[in-house]
Structure 1
Amino acid sequence: MTDAYAKAGVDIQRSDDAVGALVGVLRQIRLDQPSRSVVASGHYASVLRIAPNLGLALTTDGVGSKLVVAEQADRLETVGIDCIAMNVNDLVCVGAEPIAMLDYLAVEEPDPTRLARIAQGLREGAEQANIEIPGGELAVIPELIRGHPSPGGFDLCGTAVGTVALDRIVGGEEIRPGDAIIGVPSSGLHSNGYTLARRALLQDGGLTLDDTPDGLGASVADALLEPTTIYVRAALALLQSDIPVTGLAHITGGGVLNLPRLNTSVGWSIEEPLPILPVFETVQRLGGVAEREMWEVFNMGCGFIAIVSDDRADDAASLLAEHHPGARRIGTVTDAEGVVTVRDLRF
C-alpha cells in the first residue's frame, strides 16, 4: 500500500497489525461495573460517561519524528504547538470542547534552557486552543533517548481532556450520501509522515536543512518545522452555530483514508481537493513517491474536514473560512460503502 514509506522504515500494514494485536488484548479488560465508554474504538477520541448527560473526552498523541528535524536544526520553540494540536484537533472531532492537556517529556539530559524553549511552544499551542496545562511529567532516561545530536534527545507527548454533552456527540452515524465535505487548509506536513519526508528531501534529494530548493519557497527546515494548525476555535464555532454537523475529521497519518473512521457505511468523493502545498510536491518529486501513496500518507493541504448537509455547505464553509481562509467544499459523501476517491484515484 505504501511502498516508499515502508522503504523509509514505516510499514503501515505491519503497524496496523500491531495496533490490532494491542487493542485485541485491551478489549479483554474485565471490570466490576459496566463500561463507561460511549464511543466505539477507532474514533478520533474516546468518551467516557461521567454524569447523566456529561462525557469526558480523552486523546493522547505525540510529535513523532518531526522532533528529529527540530533537534538537527536546533529549533525547539514550536514543536510544543504540534503536541497540543495533535491532541486537541482529535478531541473536537467528537464534538468535545478541549479543556486541558498534560505533557510527557522524556529527555536524554535535563537541560533547563532547552526545556524552557520547548515549553514556549506548549504555551503558544495552549493559548491557541484555549486550554490549560495544569501538570505533566519529566523523565530523564538517557538509556532510552538518544538525540540528533546527543545529548539533546527528547520525546514529547500529551494527553488531552475535554467535555461533551452525551446527546451532542458527533459520532458520524448520521452522515448520509449527498452530504457535503468541507475541507480546511493545513499549514504543511503538520506532524505526520516525517520518516518518509525526511528520506525524500534529505537522503534521496540530497538536500540540507538550510537549502531552499526550487518550488519549495522556503528552506527545508522552515518547511518541515511549520507548526501544525490548531482547528479548535473554528470547529467549536461551527458546533455552536445552527448548522447541523454530522462528522468532523482530523486529517493526520493515513491522509484521506482517515474519513472512513467516521462511518464505514458510506463513501467519500473528493472532487475538488484543496491546493496541494509546495512541500508535498517537493517530497513527491525528490522522493519519487507515487501520487497514490502521497494521498495515503499525507494531508496534502487539507488538515481538517467537516461533514454537513448539502444545503448548509456554503454556510459551513464561510464560517470555517473566517478562522482559516481557503476553507471550502471539496467533495460529497456517496453510497459507495467504504470507498474513498480523490479525482480519479480510488482507495
Structure 2
Amino acid sequence: MRSFSESYREAGVDITAGYEGVKLMSAHVKRTMIPGVVSDIGGFGGLFAPDLSGMREPVLVSGTDGVGTKQRIAQLLDKHDTVGIDCVAMCVNDIICCGAKPIFFLDYIAIGKNVPEKVATLVSGVAEGCVQAGCALIGGETAEHPGTMAPEDYDLAGFAVGIVDKPKVIDHSATRPGDIILALPSSGIHSNGYSLVRKVFDVEHTDLNVYSGELGQTLGEALLTPTKIYVKPVLACMAAANIRGISHITGGGFYENLPRCLPAGLTARIEKASIRTQPIFHLLQRMGDISDHDMFNTYNMGVGMAVIVAKSDADKALSAFHAAGCSAYIIGEIVPGAERVVLC
C-alpha cells in the first residue's frame, strides 16, 4: 500500500509532495558524491566513511548556519537556485578557518507549502555549493509548515562536517608581529547584514529587476550574488605555505571577526585604501547614510576572508592562491597593541 494521508493533506501537509521532491532532487545530490559516501538519500541517517590515511590524530570540525534574510530577496525575485550555495558557504567557510577539509553536508528546509520543483531548485544550489567545496550532500530534511509560514516562504539552514589532522589545526597561536594579512576577495555582500540591506533599498517596494549602471547589473542580481566558497584555495595555500590564522569575515565585519584569529596583545592593522570594495557597498553606504565604522562592523566590504601568514611566506601564499584562481592581495599586517583592529 502506498503512503498517503488524506487527513494530513487537508491539514496542509502533502506527504506525497515530499516524495516527489526527493525524486526531483536526486540528480542534484548525485553530483556531490565523493569517495566515502556509504548511504543514499532517503534513509534515517547519512553514512560517511572518512579516509584517515596519513592522519595521526584525526579531528572532526563541524559548523552550522543559514542564509538569513537574504532568502527574502530570492523569494521576491522568485529565483531559488543560488541561496543553497550561500547556505553551504556559510558553513564550510567557517570550518576551513580551522584548516579542516569539509567532507559532508546536510540541509534543512522549512517551507510554508511544499512545491516539489521549488524544493528541488533550492537543493540544486546546495548541491552546487557542495561541489564547489568538494564535500558530499548526504542527507537533509524538508518540513512543511502550514499555518506558521506563508505558502511561498521558506527558511534554509545547513550543517557541515570536516576533518583535519590535529597537528595541522590552524589555532592562531603562532601569529606574531610583522605577519602579513592577505585578503581573499568576496563576491559581494555574501550573506550578512541583509536586514539593513532590505531596509536601505526598501526591497518590498522597489523593482529589483531594473538595471543599474553603477552596479553593472540589476540591484536584484547584485544582492543575490552567492557567497564565495574558499575551501579549495585555502587548502591549496595550506599545502604551499604556513598559514597562521584565518578569519571568515561574516556578520560583525572586520571588528568582530579579525580578533577571533588573534592572540592577546596583537592588533590587525588594515590599510583601508588597499581594500578592493565593490560598487554595491558604496551604493548601500550612500543610500543608507551609513558611517564607515558601521559598514566595516557589519559587512565584508570586499574581503570575504582574511589570511595571516609570516612575511617570509607571503609570496608563496599569494602564488598558491593565484594558482587556485583566487586573486588574493595584501591589506595589512599584525602589530603589537591592545586595540584588536585598526583601520588606517
Question: Tell me, what secondary structure is at the counterpart of 2:103?
Answer: strand
Please state how far the C-alpha of 1:214 moved relative to its aligned partner: 4.5
Alpha-carbon distance in structure 1 between the residues aligned to 2:287 and 2:213: 11
1:33-63 C-alpha deviation (Å, 9 max, x unpaired): xxxxxxxxxxxxxxxxxx9711110000000
> 2:162 maps to what in 1?
162
* Structure 1 segment 304-343 matched on structure 2, within 5 A: 304-343=305-344
1:144-188 C-alpha deviation (Å, 9 max, x unpaired): 323xxxx11111111100111111110111111110001010000
- Divergent runs of 4+, >3 A: none
Percent of aligned positions with the same letter in both sequences?
39
1:100-140 C-alpha deviation (Å, 9 max, x unpaired): 01101111111101011111111111111111011111111
Question: Tell me, what secondary structure is at the counterpart of 2:211?
Answer: coil
1:300-332 C-alpha deviation (Å, 9 max, x unpaired): 001011110011112212211233443111100
Please state how far the C-alpha of 1:207 moved relative to its aligned partner: 3.9
> 2:88 maps to what in 1?
84
The one-letter code of the counterpart of 1:332 is E
With 86-95 and 312-321 compared, the bigger mean Cα shift is at: 312-321
* Structure 1 segment 110-259 matched on structure 2, within 5 A: 110-146=114-150, 151-202=151-202, 207-241=206-240, 243-257=241-255, 258-259=257-258
Alpha-carbon distance in structure 1 between the residues aligned to 2:206 and 2:301: 21
Please state how far the C-alpha of 1:76 moved relative to its aligned partner: 0.2
Please state how far the C-alpha of 1:342 moved relative to its aligned partner: 1.6
CA contact (8 A) 1:185 1:274 kept: no
The one-letter code of the counterpart of 1:226 is T
Alpha-carbon distance in structure 2 between the residues aligned to 1:261 and 1:225: 28
Alpha-carbon distance in structure 1 between the residues aligned to 2:104 and 2:171: 22
CA contact (8 A) 1:96 1:163 kept: yes
Alpha-carbon distance in structure 1 between the residues aligned to 2:328 and 2:179: 16
Q: Which has the larger radius of gyration?
A: 2
Please state how far the C-alpha of 1:235 moved relative to its aligned partner: 0.5
1:268-310 C-alpha deviation (Å, 9 max, x unpaired): 0111532110000010011111111001000000101111001
CA contact (8 A) 1:251 1:304 kept: yes
Indicate whether 1:106 and 2:94 are aligned. Answer: no
1:163-221 C-alpha deviation (Å, 9 max, x unpaired): 111111101111111100010100000011111111112269x7421223442221111
The one-letter code of the counterpart of 1:250 is H
CA contact (8 A) 2:175 2:263 kept: no
Alpha-carbon distance in structure 1 between the residues aligned to 2:56 and 2:139: 28
Please state how far the C-alpha of 1:260 moved relative to its aligned partner: 0.4
CA contact (8 A) 1:59 1:87 kept: yes
Equivalent residues, number: 287
Structure 1: runs of 5+ lacking an equivalent:
1-50
Indicate whether 1:60 and 2:64 are aligned. Answer: yes
TM-score norm. by structure 2 comes to 0.80
CA contact (8 A) 2:172 2:263 kept: no
CA contact (8 A) 1:267 1:334 kept: yes
CA contact (8 A) 1:202 1:208 kept: no
Alpha-carbon distance in structure 1 between the residues aligned to 2:197 and 2:319: 33
CA contact (8 A) 2:236 2:324 kept: no
Alpha-carbon distance in structure 2 between the residues aligned to 1:323 and 1:282: 31
CA contact (8 A) 1:184 1:324 kept: no
CA RMSD, 1 decimal: 1.7
Alpha-carbon distance in structure 2 between the residues aligned to 1:203 and 1:125: 26
Change in Cα spacing, 1:72 to 1:179, as seen in structure 2 (3 Å) is same
Alpha-carbon distance in structure 1 between the residues aligned to 2:290 and 2:324: 32
CA contact (8 A) 1:62 1:158 kept: yes
With 212-221 and 109-118 compared, the bigger mean Cα shift is at: 212-221
Structure 2: runs of 5+ lacking an equivalent:
1-54
1:53-102 C-alpha deviation (Å, 9 max, x unpaired): 11110000000000000000000011110011111111110010100011
Question: Tell me, what secondary structure is at the counterpart of 1:190?
Answer: coil
